[in-house]
Amino acid sequence: MNGEGMRLCGILLAGGQSRRMGGGDKCLRALAGKTVLARIIGRIGPQVDTLVLNANGDTARFAEYGLRVIPDAIGDFAGPLAGVLTGMEWASQHGHPTNGPDKGGEVTVDSGYTHILTVPTDAPFLPTDLVERLAAPIQAGEADMTCAMSDGRTHPVVGIWPISLAGDLRRAMVDEDIRKVDRWTARHRLAEVPFGTEPFDPFFNMNRPEDAQQAAEYAALVDR
């Protein structure tokens, strides 16, 4: 992990209904021999202390990935902000597992996570230096939270969030019915971190059936 000084829990957001893809789990679709979810795990897993999947419904469909699966903390498919809240609350309640020679090889729990990283599960080519770059403004004291941007567009749920704001976010969602990410982040110091788009935009997502061919071409570049 490259977020030095942070203890990061990665939250893979798969709680949506995938209407534009005709329903089902976009992340379980095959892409050049691997599922989209497997590709994301391979890119994000090494950058965080642990990975958790935020998804609703029967968890058995994700059994082969060996991830903890947690449903939205707020019902009625309240959007990606619900996934952020879910991740914050889960991370705040669970310690950071460690083991090592000084612990006799036994798993122990230390003081806990400080932040979560959230990413969508329809973006199979996320940067392998995502955490390092998103963490920098927070570590420099310039921001409370960060999100990625590319090609002039902000990616509001690709970001690092402090779990200390879980209570603030819950109040905003429950008491004020806030659902849009930017309405809530406007209350805090948010830094938008730019990423390049060569040879392609790393935040390309598979939202529609017609995106599959483009994704296959990008996968050929990544896998060669």
Query: What pairing do the DSSP bridges indicate for beta strands 30-31 and 145-150?
Result: unpaired
Is 32 annotated as a binding-site member? no
CA–CA dist 29, 26 (Å, integer): 6
Note if the bond before 199 is cis, omega within 30 degrees. yes
Structure confidence at residue 16 (pLDDT): 65
Per-residue pLDDT tens over the stretch 140-194: 999 999 999 999 999 999 999 999 999 999 999 999 999 999 999 999 999 999 9
Is 15 annotated as a binding-site member? yes
Give the residue from 107, 106, 155 showing the smallest Cα distance to 127. Answer: 155
Supply the pTM of this predicted model.
0.89
CA–CA dist 97, 108 (Å, integer): 6
Q: How many CB atoms lie within 10 A of CB 23?
A: 9
Please, what are the domains in the chain? Answer: 8-223 (3.90.550.10)
Per-residue pLDDT tens over the stretch 48-88: 999 999 999 999 999 999 999 999 999 877 889 999 999 99
Phi-psi region of 18 (alpha: psi -120 to 50; beta: other; left: phi over 0): left
Q: How many CB atoms lie within 10 A of CB 160?
A: 29
Is 13 annotated as a binding-site member? yes
Is 14 annotated as a binding-site member? yes
Q: Which residues, at least 6 apart from 9, have a Cβ–Cβ distance to it below 8 Å?
A: 48, 49, 50, 51, 52, 87, 90, 91, 94, 96, 113, 115, 116, 117
Structure confidence at residue 2 (pLDDT): 63
Is 72 annotated as a binding-site member? yes
